[in-house]
Structure 1
């Protein structure tokens, strides 16, 4: 990701400013700033402070001081504080949604939904039991597994759904007794900075720190000796750099990376009935979702009818500025990604076997808009099929043998999610279990549940977020062995 350049004074005129980092519970400005681009216009609309190395050091020190207190704060009190933060998020939801749409591009109602889901995620995650586990309790003794906070967590979040990905990291880290430093993407930093502002009134100083910056800040965070864990969501390429940077201090790392999710549609479906669900599982957020459907394998018996139905939906959906009434799909979020999708489309148009059924081009208007695109005729070995395009483009591939479809779906370095679509649920479940992914669905695709672990196989990630499993990734397990006379900590069992 390229860091936006700092603007000169004339270029900065008229841009929204006043955004600040949150360090130690206080608003902090920076000497440098960079422009934030509205993807619906391609023009800057605001200035964002650019954190220095000294400011990161100050944030780590503030987080470490706060953690010494926060880790001993009763779990119920940590829960109450986080739920107060969720309440503040709800109270400011409408204003934040407008800002989120301007910097990310998604339709306003989708931005509102993202903020609602973010607040709900905090409430759900802080209701999960993270108490000790009993591993053994017999004549040989009792063994308990306890969990303790790691210390200071560094969270690095992406530009596609910045708030719904930042708040669960905040909730998990803080609920478990850690403190946190959050770095949003430089493409969508402003709404996350506003989370820090809200937190100043409801969380103890230093518990949540938010700093904006580019690649350099991300590298400083991953390498900083005062940070004990990194939780990163983003591309595979950047995830590998994060892992390398964290290795110098053996940080705990959770990586939620990209995906090239396949959906397999069997021959017993009603194509026009399932087409809307498949369409939105692929095109939600203009295809900029890590677990969206990015390859669609369709049995030849229903292939043509499903292609027609999906192409019709692609031609009818309203694309535009997310602040306009009735818009269903916004722009690609940034110029770099827009150019990347354009290159994939140019390659696709140049292939004789490709049949572009809808879209296939950028829209003739300002901003980073690409027409929703449906492509048939391609196979493996092409960029659109093999790699994660991360845009509003869906290839549809044909098959006549289910074993072949599963093998082709698994022929990928990615393994985030996958789905099977059929009227026979038992058959669907059997096939779905063969997919080499972190999450497999039957007759559904897309979406996360805070009570379920989420993450990827292969190069789609390390570890899991959410659920009890995800929460425990923010803590260090300790095995406690007790002699047979002891039934629990500090409570010896009287002998007869």
Structure 2
């Protein structure tokens, strides 16, 4: 069913065909759409464009499968999920290469860890349980709190981490007894279609369906009466549309939305030692992650030296095709995001803001390559400070007073993540406790895990992913009050 093709770097990859996964079967679609390799800007594959009827069939199959899937035990579901992880492991190298081709991220430093983490995550989630809680018990009665599955969960996932962010949703939904219909973004549908195809050989029919296509499928999912929950990761503006649409059926919603994360480097920080962490915290994955550092606040006492050292480090990082093992940063994923980043650059230049590094796009180069760009101390009201750039460009902002830095960090509609850096850990934690965000790191960045809750404050989202708190959101609490004897 698959064929091998060779890329320009002589890497064997899965070359289709790609199918929708519906009711345990691999299903063709009447129409298809182009998938572009962002390193070349050219079409390299076709993905199936599901019809409204095919999405309806996937939802119906998931509703049917829920009756039996929810009735089996956690231990039985764990066996299935472990088998799924085993099957994905067998296709690991293929998924890694496919991820680089459709997303652009470097194969060894970003794509491989994403796939590996996703597979490991399935295994870890499969071993987790939500136990029955005895709320009250006496001689006459007992009160039990159960957490029962919701039903069919619909997942709508983005293009920045198309494997990990999808399976972050799928695995906890399935282990808690739900079934799942996944709609990946049309920018990076192939890895999701592929792990959907693999799932059909190990999971019962209808438990996991993957349906790719245009944006018209999203509203069909968000207002569908047979979908009990929508788990969405994407922009804040799109998240607002999801919330409005889901309100019609009062379905559960988890939204992981945009961020404008601030990193505050305190006056006592060993700032030169942490520059690699700060750089990759901002520019990793081409700066395309929700919890990436978007604003970097540096104390005036070492601001000039910091900028110089930060730029020196940036000069050592190679930007290019992610299949090249020497590349540290790949292209921006799509033309839309590339054009959006240009508007930031245009605004910076139009307002005479200082570019310490980068800022010049090579228009002769194919692909969506945006240069690593460092903006030195733009005003607080500027576009690059106030808006989420979601790309390889960062403002380094001077502050004099820690209270002022915290106030400026918090003066945002977003509250997804943040970080604080300083030698005095106790003092850094005190600052971190004042940052208005759902996840704040102290002297580290982007540490996450299966038992670590992750969610946004303000307009960065609703609900939680990961952790016990995140797993609970795939269930409804159900209280049983039992009289022991008549």
Quick one: distance in 2 between partners of 1:302 and 1:87? 50
Q: CA deviation at 1:365?
A: 1.1
Deviation at 1:225, TM superposition (A): 1.1
Q: Distance in 1 between matches of 2:433 and 2:342?
A: 35
Residue aligning to 1:72: 71
**Residue 405 (str. 1) matches residue 401 (str. 2):** no
1:119: how far off?
0.5
Q: Is 162-171 or 135-144 further displaced after alignment? A: 135-144
Give the match's secondary structure for 2:154. strand
Give how far 1:138 is off: 5.2
| Distance (Å, rounded) in 2 between the aligned partners of 1:136 and 1:127 | 27
| Matching residue of 2:160 | 160
Partners of 2:85 and 2:308 lie apart in 1 by 43
CA distance in 2, matches of 1:197, 1:447: 31
Separation in 2, partners of 1:461, 1:345: 27
1:132 and 1:146 in contact (8 A); partners too: yes
* Structure 2: distance between partners of 1:470 and 1:212: 26
How far apart are 1:116 and its partner, in Å?
Answer: 0.1
Alpha-carbon contact 2:265-2:271 (below 8 Å) kept: no
Alpha-carbon separation, structure 2, partners of 1:351 and 1:331: 26
Asked whether 1:235 is paired with 2:252, we answer no
Aligned twin of 1:37: 36
Offset from partner CA, 1:211-270 (integer Å, 9 cap, x none): 001210111111111111000001101111111111110110000111100010011112
Superposition deviation, residue 17 in structure 1? 5.0
1:135: how far off?
Answer: 2.8
Alignment of 1:100-119 (within 5 A): 100-109=99-108, 110-119=110-119
Question: Can you list the C-alpha shifts for 1:31-62, whole angstroms capped at 9, x where unaligned?
Answer: 11000010001111100000101001100111
The whole-number CA distance in structure 2 between the counterparts of 1:320 and 1:38 is 13
C-alpha separation between the residues in 2 aligned to 1:335 and 1:441?
Answer: 32
Partners of 2:331 and 2:312 in 1: how far apart? 20
Query: Which residue of 2 is the match for residue 5 of structure 1?
Result: none
CA distance in 1, matches of 2:141, 2:443: 47
C-alpha distance 412-140 of structure 1, shift in aligned 2 (>3 A): farther
Shift of 1:129: 2.2
Task: Give the corresponding residue for 1:358.
Answer: 357
Q: Distance in 2 between matches of 1:408 and 1:439?
A: 17
**Cα deviation 1:322-365 (Å, max 9, x = unaligned):** 1112111000000000000011011011222x211111132341
Change (3 A) 1:107 1:74: same
Matches within 5 A, 1:64-213: 64-109=63-108, 110-137=110-137, 142-213=142-213
- 17-26 or 45-54, which deviates more: 17-26
Using structure 2 for the length normalisation, give the TM-score.
0.95
Structure 1 residue 395 and structure 2 residue 395: aligned? Answer: yes
Cα separation, 1, equivalents of 2:47 and 2:141: 58
Would you say the 8 A contact 2:74–2:129 is kept in 1? no
Residue 140 of structure 1: how far off its partner (Å): 8.3
Contact 1:16–1:45 (Cα < 8 Å) also in 2: no
Q: C-alpha distance in 2, partners of 1:466/1:165? A: 11
Contact 1:107 1:322 in 2 (8 A): yes
- Counting only pairs closer than 5 Å after superposition, residues 240-279 of structure 1 correspond to structure 2 as 240-279=240-279
The residue that corresponds to 2:464 in the other structure is: 464
Alpha-carbon contact 2:314-2:372 (below 8 Å) kept: yes
Matched residue SS, 1:316 = coil
Note closer, same or farther for the CA distance 1:447–1:368 as it changes in structure 2 (3 Å cut): farther
Partner of 2:303: 303
Paired with 2:67 and 2:203, the residues of 1 have a C-alpha distance of 15
Distance in 2 separating the partners of 1:434 and 1:141: 45
Deviation larger for 404-413 or 270-279 = 270-279
* Alpha-carbon displacement from aligned partner over 1:266-308 (angstroms, at most 9, x marks no partner): 1111221110110000001010000000000111112111111
The within-5 A match list for 1:332-351 is 332-351=332-351
Counterpart-to-counterpart distance in 2, 1:347 and 1:136: 61
SS of the aligned residue for 2:248 comes to: helix
State the 1:187 CA deviation.
0.2
What does residue 287 of structure 1 align with?
287
Gaps of 5+ in 1: 1-14, 487-491
CA distance in 1, matches of 2:356, 2:301: 18
Q: Displacement, 1:479? A: 2.0
User: Would the aligned equivalents of 2:144 and 2:480 in 1 still touch at CA under 8 Å?
Assistant: yes
Say if 2:296 and 2:395, in contact at 8 Å, map to a contact too.
yes
Q: What is the aligned length?
A: 471
Contact 2:132 2:144 in 1 (8 A): yes
Counterpart-to-counterpart distance in 1, 2:331 and 2:17: 26
Distance 2:141 2:427 in 1: 45
For 2:204 and 2:75, how far apart are their aligned partners in 1? 15
- 2: CA distance between counterparts of 1:326 and 1:91? 26
Aligned-residue offset at 1:192: 0.4
Q: Could you tell me which residue of structure 2 aligns to residue 480 of structure 1? A: 480
